[in-house]
């Protein structure tokens, strides 16, 4: 199984403050990979560094074997690395369909139309609401738009930062089911998630991030049964 995204000895921060250091992670194709950890562990900083929003202080990032750490955000998107940020950042006064179209701005119009129909098949709820203003939708529906917009970029690997934040449990379960389906189509998915129990129960592989470093990794179900997770995150 080929590795779509890899970070090697990654370090990043803000000014003189180093937030993450010596990060080594891999996101294989057709696998859902999860990063969990407490608030302030550096999870969002890691996603910003991988996507190019935040410059690296050390280390490198490869996408499908090609180095991308010198590329800016738009070049990384063009190469197939797309971030769904925390908070979604949709264009509230534009329709669902217009938001999706913006995600495929780098594609030819014919390719964009075909891909949009695939996305709407994956999210039937969005197909029903394609002319609705994004800002008038529920949080779960907006998150579907955000994921759909990312898919319009034809990502090799998709990064998601806290996608379940503020969503009802039923919507979280539906979102995770769709993310697994996206993985099975060949796209790599790296997910930062606060919902530790649910994230570890559905992922293929997980990393635990604490104080800016990876302190453990392994299959999600294996980590879920481990003492570190049970004591620190599940209160057991």
- Distance of alpha carbon 162 from alpha carbon 201, whole angstroms: 16
What are the tokens at 67?
């180095």
Per-residue CA distances from 45 to 52, 77, 106, 135 (Å): 11, 18, 26, 27
Same domain membership, residue 118 and residue 169: no
Q: What is the pLDDT of residue 160?
A: 95
236 has a pLDDT exceeding 50: no
- 129 has pLDDT over 50: yes
Q: How sure is the predictor about 227, in pLDDT bands with cuts at 50, 70 and 90? A: confident
Same domain, 176 and 236: yes
- Domain check: are 4 and 71 in the same one? yes
pLDDT tens-digit readout, 32-88: 999 998 888 999 999 999 999 999 999 999 999 999 999 999 999 999 999 998 877
Q: End of a domain among 107, 139, 154?
A: 154
- Segments forming the whole domain that contains residue 4: 1-79+156-236
Q: Is the pLDDT of residue 184 over 60?
A: yes
Arithmetic mean of pLDDT, 138-167? 91
Which residues, other chains included, contact 151 with Cβ-Cβ below 8 Å and sequence gap of 6+?
103, 115, 118, 119, 122, 158, 182, 187
pTM of the predicted protein model? 0.90
User: Both 75 and 123 in a single domain?
Assistant: no
Same structural domain for residues 73 and 163? yes
Q: Which residues pair with 58 in a beta bridge?
A: 11
* 181 closest CA partner among 228, 119, 125: 119
Please provide residue 62's backbone torsions phi and psi, each rounded to the nearest 5 degrees.
Answer: -120, 145
Domains: count for the chain = 2
The answer to which of 48-52, 128-132, 173-177, 213-217 has the lowest mean pLDDT is 173-177
Q: Which stretch of DSSP H or E encloses residue 147?
A: helix 139-151
Burial class (CB in 10 A: 0-12, 13-18, 19+), 218: middle
* Mean pLDDT over the full length of the chain: 90
Q: β-pairing, 205-210 with 213-218?
A: antiparallel
User: Are residues 148 and 210 located together in one domain of the fold?
Assistant: no
Q: Would you state the pLDDT for residue 233?
A: 65
Do 139 and 162 reside in the same domain of the chain? no
Tell me the CATH number at 16: 3.40.50.300
Q: What is the pLDDT of residue 195?
A: 81
The answer, yes or no, to whether residue 208 has pLDDT greater than 60, is: yes
Q: Do 137 and 124 lie in a common domain?
A: yes
136, 154, 172 — which closes off a domain? 154
Same domain, 137 and 168: no
pLDDT at 234: 62
Indicate whether 168 and 196 sit together in one domain. yes
In the chain, the percentage of residues whose pLDDT exceeds 90 is: 63
Question: Is there a single domain that holds both residue 75 and residue 180?
Answer: yes
State pLDDT tens for residues 76-118. Answer: 999 999 999 887 789 889 999 999 998 888 778 888 888 899 9
Q: Residue 138: helix, strand or coil by DSSP?
A: coil
Place of tokens 């995770």: 176
Cα 82 from chain centre? 8
Per-residue pLDDT of 16-31, as tens digits, reads: 899 999 999 999 999 9
Q: What share of the chain is helix, strand, coil (3-state, %, to 5)?
A: 40, 30, 30
> What single string gives the DSSP state of each residue in 175-208?
HHHHHHHHHHTT-EEEEE-S-HHHHHHH-SEEEE
Q: Among 154, 179, 210, give the residue marking a domain's end.
A: 154
Is there a single domain that holds both residue 185 and residue 199? yes
């Amino acid at each position: 199984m080929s590795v779509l995204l890899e970070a090697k000895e990654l370090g990043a921060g803000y000014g003189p403050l180093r937030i993450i250091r010596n990060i080594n992670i891999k996101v294989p194709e057709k696998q859902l990979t999860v990063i969990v950890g407490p608030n302030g562990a550096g999870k969002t900083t890691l996603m910003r560094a991988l996507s190019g929003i935040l410059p690296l202080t050390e280390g490198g990032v490869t996408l499908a074997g090609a180095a991308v750490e010198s590329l800016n955000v738009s070049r990384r998107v063009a190469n197939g690395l797309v971030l769904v940020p925390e908070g979604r950042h949709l264009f509230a006064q534009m329709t669902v369909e217009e938001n999706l179209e913006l995600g495929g701005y780098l594609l030819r119009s014919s390719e964009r139309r075909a891909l949009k129909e695939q996305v709407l098949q994956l999210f039937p709820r969005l197909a029903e609401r394609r002319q609705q203003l994004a800002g008038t939708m529920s949080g779960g529906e907006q998150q579907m738009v955000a994921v759909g917009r990312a898919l319009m970029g034809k990502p090799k690997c998709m990064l998601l930062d806290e996608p379940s934040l503020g969503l009802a449990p039923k919507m979280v379960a539906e979102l995770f089911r769709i993310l697994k389906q996206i993985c099975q189509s060949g796209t790599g998915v790296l997910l930062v998630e606060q919902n530790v129990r649910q994230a570890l129960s559905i992922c293929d592989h997980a990393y635990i991030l604490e104080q800016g470093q990876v302190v453990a990794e392994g299959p999600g179900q294996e980590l879920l049964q481990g003492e570190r997770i049970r004591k620190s995150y599940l209160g057991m």
